[in-house]
Structure 1
């Protein structure tokens, strides 16, 4: 805490006009720009995180509701099992949709499925095989990831702006130094 206080006092002392000839206006401009960028990031980061998480969360909730209304479980019967020596064992399953239409699909074997065994599968309104509906935990995780990604992108933008300002002001600082040295060098070195 003491170190932070000393650094904060140093920044305040550096920003105020004190008539120090070694501290040029370009130096004060540089510090003001860095402090402004830092404060801007500290204000915008939570705002960007909140808005992004809110948008991603709302989209996820809409997907949850839609999928819970359009997907349902049905009981499927194992029709055929791939041979035991095959590396990726699959089973062919069959089921009937709500209108009585028959469907079949090849899916991974999730254990010792024998011909005639029953499995629960998720289907859409058309009776086609699909994944289970989206869980709320997935929506929360997606919202958090969206917020973290947005803040990371804001941090990259902040870093790019800081680098651009540093380079521009450093170029200006070197031009001033060259101009001042050209005026002082003949007196100090005795050379024209």
Structure 2
């Protein structure tokens, strides 16, 4: 089916756009779910090797604070000491709330070796990553589909118009009441 009138082309265009959006949303939803599930697995794995310990700052928090995680407020860094594993004293720079004074006890995340580590992922981080992945995939799929539609229309457009011209040459004289070439005024089809 090839639309020939502007109204038909408009309806056909809306159908094509609707199909493109629907397919892109389906791919985006699948991608978002896949990213979410991968994030859950990665966070579980990371959580198995992360431990919260109490550390004591040995210096004042440095300025300026920076946002380190989406679900955490601004953070600064300060020198601190802690023990992990049990009875093994460690020291290093850890993330602390801004303006944390020297000698303050703070909770920090460490890995199995006792080194400062990033905490397990949060639900909000995973949600944002999943959303971004889904939107990215949906955008790429929609762009590819739209490109394919444009290429197909450019490829079949001239052929469709030529066929329409040939058909119109046969139908127009009868439809409009004009005489055909080679027929005279006394010719009557009845």
Taking structure 1 as the reference length, what is the TM-score of the superposition?
0.61
CA distance 1:112–1:45, change in 2 (3 Å): closer
Cross-structure match for 1:97 = 84
Equivalent residue in structure 2 for 1:137, among 91, 113, 124: 124
Unaligned residue ranges in structure 2 (runs of 5+): 66-75, 167-190
Note if 1:41 corresponds to 2:28.
no
Which is richer in helix? 1
Aligned residues: 154
CA distance 1:109–1:54, change in 2 (3 Å): closer
Deviations, residues 83-107 of structure 1 (Å, cap 9, x unaligned)? 8xx7677521111112432222224
CA distance 1:151–1:106, change in 2 (3 Å): same
Counterpart CA distance in 1 for 2:28 and 2:61 is 49
Taking structure 2 as the reference length, what is the TM-score of the superposition?
0.62
* Alpha-carbon offset, residue 38 of structure 1: 4.5
Deviations, residues 122-145 of structure 1 (Å, cap 9, x unaligned)? 111111101221112322222222
8 Å CA contact 2:20, 2:146 repeated in 1: no
Deviations, residues 45-87 of structure 1 (Å, cap 9, x unaligned)? 343123212211210111222222221211111113378xx76
Task: Quote the RMSD (CA, aligned, Å).
Answer: 3.8
Note if 1:52 corresponds to 2:25.
no
Counterpart CA distance in 1 for 2:64 and 2:21 is 54
